[in-house]
Structure 1
Amino acid sequence: MLRKYKNFFSVLIQWIVFGSIIGIIVGSTTTFLLETNDYLGDEIREKRDWLIFLLPFGGVLIGYIYMNYGKVFLNYTLNDTAKLNNLVIDSVHEKKEVPLRMGPIVYFGTFITVLFGGSTGREGAAVQMGGSVAAAVNKFFKVNRLDKKVLMMSGISAGFGAAFGAPITGAVFGMEMAALGKLKFEALVPCLTASFVAHYVTTVAWEHKHEEFIIQTVPEITLMTFIIVILLSIIFSLISVLYCQLRHGIEKFSEKLFNKNHMKRAFFGGVVIVVLTLMVSSQDYNGRGLQMIEQSFIEDVPPFAFLAKLIFTAVTIGTGFVGGEAIPLFFIGATLGNSLHSFIDLPLSFLAALGLIAVFCGGSNTPIAAFLLAMEMFDGKGLEYFFVACIVSYLFSGHHGLWPSQKIYEPKSRLYNTPLAETIENVEQKK
């Protein structure tokens, strides 16, 4: 019995130590990512509109780096860092390994994309850096095979928790991102440790201040309001499916058109974004778009802003540029909720918040993390409504999502008739 407890506490301490190491490094690197992105996007790009015309050439540079330095053979397997979050998910499932160079490459690619006006977020780079750091810890300490998967999840948790200032969400996101219908709870301790340490390193040690979105008013709990929330959540989930399908479609089309030449794909995508920007005569849909997200909580925004951002981001990511997709999903959901305010008699900020969370949930297939994000982001307001919205959005988005490598351990419903242990990519191909 004593030996069992000794072994238990030995493993527990290892997880806490490894989670802390990952959290400290990822918290610091994520702060660098956030601060640099803010500077490049707010201080440089927004004051120099002409930089958008350099986006195609920035795409060529990103493509060159990924084609020449992004592919690494490890254990007789080709690991392509251009697969981004999908490579991190595959590493959790032991299909691939995350090269140590993945973090620096994705940071550089994200900076180029943001500087020249690509429509992306930043959490994708933080998650991939988390995976890169976790891989380095695994290699340095020669971690055993079972714990490698756990620490990879910890890297994901650290990146997400630090990027959004949501440590509880980050802990669960690391466990929930890799697979639908299954949570590996033994990873809770290192994921929680990594996420909280990374969060406090970012906010306390480096004093980074995250953006805040405030719900002014939450409607009273009534049956009619719940019915409206359910109907709206279905709409938000379908919008998330539209984005995912469009982005995947553009990716497949551009790869086929240019024979998987990343440089040509990104150049073409950059030209399309320049043309779209000139067509709308605005750069509101380039970059992260945080200002319009904030605006959607307090006043009206253009009624079709959500559709413009959806197209801009699908083209940017689908043609090989780099960055996160959570903030674009926030933008799409918040502005769509804002637009629906004209037809629905519910508080504006509440509708924007509901859309932000529900669209993210539908795209990421992480209902628990999405609900926790709502609680952390909006100080626990409207928890009943957000819980329902996350469940409905998760169910009605079907087996679609941002990351084709997500494995479906359990179908969302028997109505979908999906085999066990399939990936989203395989399910979509069979359809």
Structure 2
Amino acid sequence: MLAQRTDLLKSSGIAAAMAAAEAATASGHKVIDLTIGEIWSDLVPSVRDGAIVAVSRNVNRYTESIGLMDLRHALASKLSAETAQPWSVDEVAVTNGAKQALFNTMLAILNPGDEVLIPAPYWRTFPDQTILAGGTPVFVETRHNDFVPRLTDLEAAVTSKTKAIVVNTPNNPTGAIYNRDILAAIGQLAVDRDFWIVFDECYGAFAHAPHIHHPMISVAPHARNRILIVNSFSKSLALTGWRIGYLAGPKAVISAVKELQSLSTSNPNVIAQHAVLHHLKFGDHAFELALQRKVASARSLGLSILSALREVPLPKAQGGIFFYLDLGRLQQRARANRREFIGDDVAHALLMEAGVATVPGTAFGDPTGIRVSYGVELELLDRGLQRLTETLNRWG
């Protein structure tokens, strides 16, 4: 009796990994959870102050469906500074996190049968939302090129049905950062072949030196009318639970998104909107810089520990908050001993033998990897990665 679209929905691999960690904990195992994509942090003082001010003023009414006008002005100013391109308020929509920005985008631009290029490994939300919007995901493998797509592979994947490409940099799950050359090439390909670029830069605040995160529009300004920017404050301000994100792009798309959002969720949480607006007006960026240093320190600690892995290459972790471990060599060694396994088996063993919860690469369309978050407390990260390293060095 359910709608056919519900058959398209499969449980998230990340959610499954988190549930497995919770079940193991409930059964008495002491588990260090390295699955979740968020940063352990206190609340941003300027965000907290903005929320308190809004509550004290009895703020409790609807806003425009795509957000407070003042907040959209502040976001337009933020985008103008970051991209060196002018932005207006009617090119910005505030959303309930980046996921809604992405879903609104797919609903606004896709017709049944349209194809969306998605570099793999990928965040599961991209193909699932494409399918729910009536589109067809077309995966472009990146493992052979340090998890960044080659232009020749993208060109080969483009067809007359191609409507968009998803560009996620810094990438979840791999941590890869796209350099200026590939971003410029993608921009030109989109112009030449007439399709959209959905540019997800939610981890853009965490590009680890010497790597640099480049806003797509700064690199390919001639493709501006084809670029849709998706971002949020979930990572940059460690506000995952507040659900404030935004979409920026051509006015026609934002207008369509306004209607979609009005019919689905109405406006994002009004207190969260006022809180983020207060931060954008009065915050001094000290919190963001401290958070970036914190994440960089966790990455350095993690890489130091993971360097002891014998059959798993040290992840590059150029950006974001994840280590993506390539199990290919470990699988080859096991195969020589007439054993077969995929990332799910390794993740299960890490959970049950080492008490460390990770996300298998099958959650990202890749059976030969596992994702490990370094957004947790340093002491937990230290213990978790030590256990992980010891366990993987016994595998194969």
User: TM > 0.5 between the two?
Assistant: no
Instruction: Compare relative contact order (CA 8 Å, sep 6+) and give the higher one, 1 or 2.
Output: 2
Which structure features the higher share of strand residues?
2
